[in-house]
Amino acid sequence: MIRQYEKGDEVQITKLFEDVFHQAMTVEQWKWKYTGQGLHENKSTVATNEKGIIAGHFGGISLRMWFRDRFTITYQGVDLMVHKNYRGPLNKRGLYVKICRFFYENLPSFVYGFINPDHFRLGKLLGFYEDAIVVNDHRIDTASHILPVYVLERMEWDNRKIDSLWNKVYKELGWSIVRDRAFLKWRYESNPAHSFRLYGLRRRFLNELLGWVVVRDGEEGELFLMDMLFRDDAWSVCLKNYPLWHMQRGRRR
């Protein structure tokens, strides 16, 4: 049987997650991931066997989105998994395809995601996926400056300037998750798996927030850039002035 998520399914979903990916996910982590924004209309799909045990799952995290000049609720497709005993053939009769088709056909809005190359090739072959935007992986080696023109300073997650910046720039975006204080506090500050830091960009001696970046520490001195939002004029300046990255010396990625 294939159906939409029902309250209480998260107990079996987290068990399936561990069986498939060999990584633990607690019920508390699941609740943060799927309902932590206060959006409780879960559109995830589950497949159950004859005993009612969940054997497959395709998760949909509901997110507030600015899309085609209006605000809407959309979904990020995650945690697509089928227990090894039920995977079967990769054709229209297989459980993988049936779960995907039910998931997409029962969404009130569009779905997006970041998937590995194998899943993308298979999904595109079956007609589920199409290209949206290309996300590149860059590495920047920074230089040290005595008195940078632009500086990044540590920010608190509930700083009101985050909302002010969002309200200034969102209409210029083609489409974007709503990146206000509520989103940043959920996605990064309350994240149970990783620790993040938020830095705000301003011009020296001025107080206006021109942009922000979220970072996470990696290994061997690496600093991973996880998220960012800038005014267009500030971003073009930043690309020409390495002092933007002068929050800490070393290699950045």
Are residues 149 and 45 part of one domain? no
Are residues 88 and 53 part of one domain? yes
Are residues 89 and 64 part of one domain? yes
pLDDT less than 70: residues of the chain: 90-91, 115, 119, 122, 126, 128-129, 132-148, 235-253
Are residues 76 and 181 part of one domain? no
What is the tally of structural domains in the chain?
2
Token pair listed for 102: 């039910």
- Residue 120 maps to a domain: yes
Using N-to-C axis directions, what is the helix angle for 10-21 and 27-35, rounded to 10°?
A: 110
- Residue 164 maps to a domain: yes
Percent of the chain with pLDDT strictly greater than 90: 53
Query: In the Cβ-directed half-sphere of 149, how many Cα atoms lie within 13 Å?
Result: 8
Are residues 159 and 84 part of one domain? no
Are residues 109 and 7 part of one domain? yes
Residue 249 has what pLDDT?
34
Are residues 7 and 97 part of one domain? yes
Pick from 250, 145, 158, 175: nearest CA to 212: 158
- Residue 169 maps to a domain: yes
Token pair listed for 203: 């011009």
CATH code where residue 246 lies: 3.40.630.30
Angle at 177 between CA 8 and CA 149, to 5 degrees: 135
Residue 222 has what pLDDT?
81
Pick from 82, 71, 3, 2: nearest CA to 39: 71
Are residues 108 and 160 part of one domain? no
Give per-residue pLDDT as tens, 128-167.
667 766 666 655 555 555 666 777 889 999 999 999 999 9
Token pair listed for 136: 């590149």
CB 209, CB 161: distance < 8 Å: yes
Are residues 232 and 169 part of one domain? yes
Please name every residue paired with 47 in a beta bridge, in sequence order, or none if there are none.
Answer: 2, 56
Q: What predicted TM-score, i.e. pTM, was given to this entire model?
A: 0.79
- Residue 180 maps to a domain: yes
Q: In angstroms, rounded to a whole number, what is the distance separating the alpha carbons of residues 19 and 24?
A: 9
Are residues 233 and 175 part of one domain? yes
Q: What is the DSSP string of 40-67?
A: -----EEEE-TTS-EEEEEEEEEEEEEE
Q: Amino acid letter at 72?
A: T
- Residue 135 maps to a domain: no
Are residues 79 and 177 part of one domain? no
Instruction: Please provide the average confidence, as pLDDT, over all residues in the chain.
Output: 84
Domain of residue 10, residue span: 2-125
- Residue 133 maps to a domain: no
Pick from 27, 19, 108, 18: nearest CA to 72: 108
- Residue 134 maps to a domain: no
**Which of 101, 125, 149 is a domain's end point?**
125
Integer CA distances (angstroms), 76 to 39, 79, 209, in order:
13, 10, 29
